[in-house]
Amino acid sequence: MARLFQELVESVRIAFGQIRANGLRSVLTALGVIIGIVAVTLMGTAINGIDIGFNRSLAMLGEDVLYVQRWPWRRVEDWWSYVNRPALEVETAERLNRVIEATPGSLLEVAVPVATRGTSVRAGELRLAGVMLFGTTGDYARIVTTDVAEGRMFNAVEASVGRPVCVLGSAVAENLFPSGSALDQQVQIRGELYTVIGVLAKQGEFLGLFSFDNQIVAPLNTMRRQTGIRANLDLRVKVRDKTRLAAAEEELIGAMRRVRGQLPGERDNFSVNQQQAFKEQLDPVKAGIALAGLFITGLSLFVGAIGIMNITFVSVKERTKEIGTRKALGARRRTILLQFLIEAVSICLIGGLVGLGVTLAASLVLATLLPALPIAFSPGLMAVSVLVSILTGVVSGFAPAWGASRLDPVVALRYE
Amino acid sequence: MPPPIAMSAAAPARRPARAPGDLVIRIEGVTKLYRMGAETIHALRGVNLKIRRNEYLAVMGPSGSGKSTLMNMLGCLDTPSAGRYDFNGKDVARMVDDELAEIRNREIGFVFQTFNLLPRSDALHNVELPLVYAGVRPAARRERALGALRNVGLGDRIHHKPNEMSGGQRQRVAIARALVNHPSILLADEPTGNLDSRTGEEIMALFEDLYEQGHTIIVVTHEENIARHARRVVRLRDGLIESDGPVA
């Protein structure tokens, strides 16, 4: 044990002496590893960022909200069995809420009908198209994941009598009332005037597809009466305990079947969706992107590893006679193997640490220049890249070091 | 610090051979074959040799006589194709690599023609090297290496690198390195081959002194005037021992 330790110390000493003696060569070899580690860690940072952005988007859907809809959030092969499902109505929500209230210890809190449609909105001279209009009841305040930044949400009375009031998403408010508060102003939706009673806090984009800030929430009854449009309606059901989401989903399915009067054995004529379903849909895509990205950047690290292997072979060749001398003085195979392995690992580790520094600097610069980019440089990533650089050294240094350890001392001593 | 050892260039005064001690090396019927392409070369054809503690032996022979092969064998750098080789009663003929490394580390001190010092390490670290491989702790290592360097008259050169020293000094460092782990034998391969004759004589005087101190020395050489320093000469020819006897 003491011997192994002395040998290790000696090996580290040799390695650093060697790196110092062959300065330029060591720098060039390390450069390959530096580039490789920078590429891999930058990719890791990007993947991390995508993950964070993705989770942030999913959180907008609400972690404790189940969606009752006609269609599931996944691709369906047999679409014909879904198109004829009965539409969801406001009465469905009311009957569902009665079932929930009648269930002792229910995991569900409340079901809220939400009608969704795209519309344009006007305020004075300004007109905004492609806005999501949500028509809902007073219970919406209980399920919404966004805070109301200014003003308030409409209450149950306003909702049921159908008062012409609305709450604007932050982007809508900014665009229609750039110079002042939107509160108490009037907006025109499909020819009808609504009074703004609240503005939602900023949320951001959902998976980069559309903005959650580009929405207007109004009482469903107002929307119905004034525009007479049939909107696509679904139910959002708030769960009491988000750690028991699966059980809550079970209960919801049972409750919906009762509401619909479905017989045992009959297929559900509705779908219960949750953000988890999105995750399941998108996780393979995400994993694919990560895998492809890491593979491509891994190639550059591989090239760096080949450089290390090459230089270790050269180092062994150059010092064949020294290996012979060391063996004559009592160095064992293990000793020689360790010596060259540690030399390769040292270069890789130095390269890895420098590369990590470069990545850290680069991600800091990027984060300053593009604050919207979700960049995440995690300690885990640091640990992994240090580990990867050590591994690179071991893998690429092993073949030459093994060869050196097996050298016949007689042949090695005679080598000139 | 002991006074520098016999620096005189004059031929050393002959002192009588000391009484040899226990058997260190016993070689019986050792042969060595090399395969060179389709050809088989018989480097050693059946060599018998006994070396006792505190002998001073020269191995001589023209090139191709098997001299180098015998030296590699004696130094446990190589194992015989057939025959028996006992070192301090241990059968080394059947040992594997790492066991041989252990024997070399503890029992044999090598002195090479080309010194074979590590160019980037100072004298002290060069001498410490066998102790590193023996697992000696740094403090003790340094102490012993310092002692060995003083013993060869280089107590004031411990931090010099090989390229800052003369040939004679380098060979003294190598001798200190060979002796630092208290080996059973000192095995020198043409130790004066890369030195001028004056420096060569100094090194041989150092060997004489080490022999007087009780070391067992084997010098492999093709020079008669180097072999003359020994007390016993073994002459090889065509892979066989031609003669074995005291120096005339």
CB contact under 8 A, A413 and B134: no
Same domain as A235, residue A111: yes
Rounded to the nearest angstrom, the minimum Cα separation between B16 and chain A is: 32
- The tokens of B98 are what? 């790492």
Residues A256, A89: contact at Cβ < 8 Å? no
Same domain as A166, residue A49: no
Q: What is the CATH number of the domain that holds B188?
A: 3.40.50.300
User: pLDDT confidence of B187, banded at 50, 70, 90?
Assistant: very high
Q: What's the residue count for chain A?
A: 416
Q: What pLDDT score was predicted for residue B6?
A: 45
Residues B28, B83: contact at Cβ < 8 Å? yes
Rounded to the nearest angstrom, the minimum Cα separation between A413 and chain B is: 9
Same domain as A161, residue A35: no
Selected for mutation to probe chain B from A329, A334, A407, A413 (highest B CB count within 10 Å) is: A329
- The answer to whether residue B169 scores a pLDDT higher than 70 is yes
Same domain as A296, residue A194: no
- The answer to whether residue B180 scores a pLDDT higher than 50 is yes
In-domain check, residue B88: no
In-domain check, residue B17: no
Distance between CA atoms of residues B126 and B115, nearest Å:
11
Q: Which residue on chain B is closest to A334 by alpha carbon?
A: B98
Q: What pLDDT score was predicted for residue B3?
A: 47
In-domain check, residue A404: yes
Domain that holds residue B100: 53-81+94-246
Q: Which of A79-88, A378-387, B12-21, B179-188 has the lowest mean pLDDT?
A: B12-21
The ipTM (two decimal places) reads 0.89
Rounded to the nearest angstrom, the minimum Cα separation between B130 and chain A is: 5
Overall pTM surpassing 0.80 (yes/no) = no
Identity of the residue in B97, B120, B135 whose CB atom sits nearest the CB atom of A6: B135
Number of domains in chain A: 2
Contact list in B for residue A10 (CB cut-off 8 A) is: 129, 132
Rounded to the nearest angstrom, the minimum Cα separation between B104 and chain A is: 5
- Each as own residue / partner, the long-range contacts of residues A333-337 (CB below 8 Å, 24 or more positions apart, any chain) are A333/A405, A333/A406, A333/B97, A333/B98, A333/B101, A334/A4, A334/A7, A334/A405, A334/B98, A335/A7, A335/A11, A335/A405, A335/B133, A336/A401, A336/A404, A336/A405, A336/A407, A337/A401, A337/A402, A337/A404, A337/A405
- Residues 6+ away with beta carbon under 8 Å from A120: A127, A128, A129, A130, A131, A190
In-domain check, residue A74: no
Same domain as A149, residue A204: yes
Q: What pLDDT score was predicted for residue A385?
A: 87
Q: How many Cβ pairs closer than 8 A exist between chain A and B?
A: 75
A195 touches chain B (CB under 8 A): no
Identity of the residue in B106, B132, B137 whose CB atom sits nearest the CB atom of A10: B132
Contact list in B for residue A408 (CB cut-off 8 A) is: 78
**Percent share of chain B, pLDDT over 70:** 92
CB contact under 8 A, B101 and A6: no
Residue where one domain finishes, among candidates A208, A223, A239: A239
Same domain as A111, residue A214: yes
In-domain check, residue B32: no
Q: Which of A75-84, B2-11, B179-188 has the lowest mean pLDDT?
A: B2-11
pLDDT in tens, A91-129: 888 888 998 988 888 888 999 999 888 888 988 888 888
CB contact under 8 A, B106 and A334: no
In-domain check, residue A46: yes
Nearest alpha carbon to residue A69 among A40, A48, A93, A39: A93
In-domain check, residue A256: no
In-domain check, residue B87: no
Q: What pLDDT score was predicted for residue A130?
A: 86
In-domain check, residue A80: no
User: pLDDT confidence of B7, banded at 50, 70, 90?
Assistant: very low
How large is the average pLDDT for residues B155-174? 93
In-domain check, residue B200: yes
- The answer to whether residue B9 scores a pLDDT higher than 60 is no
Rounded to the nearest angstrom, the minimum Cα separation between B185 and chain A is: 13
CB contact under 8 A, B101 and A327: yes
Q: What pLDDT score was predicted for residue A382?
A: 84
Number of domains in chain B: 1
In-domain check, residue B40: no
Contact list in A for residue B112 (CB cut-off 8 A) is: 325, 413
Rounded to the nearest angstrom, the minimum Cα separation between A389 and chain B is: 28
How large is the average pLDDT for residues B164-192? 93
In-domain check, residue B21: no
Domain that holds residue A7: 2-58+280-414
Identity of the residue in A3, A325, A331 whose CB atom sits nearest the CB atom of B116: A325
- Residues 6+ away with beta carbon under 8 Å from B151: B2, B176, B179
Residues A213, A182: contact at Cβ < 8 Å? no
Same domain as A402, residue A291: yes
How large is the average pLDDT for residues B145-162? 93
Residue where one domain finishes, among candidates A239, A261, A293: A239
Chain B 166-185, residues with CB within 8 Å of chain A CB atoms: 177, 181
Question: Which residues does chain A have with pLDDT short of 70?
Answer: 207-209, 226-231, 372-377
Q: What pLDDT score was predicted for residue A117?
A: 83
Q: Which residue on chain A is closest to B125 by alpha carbon?
A: A10
Contact list in A for residue B104 (CB cut-off 8 A) is: 327-330
Rounded to the nearest angstrom, the minimum Cα separation between B13 and chain A is: 33
A410 touches chain B (CB under 8 A): yes
In-domain check, residue B30: no
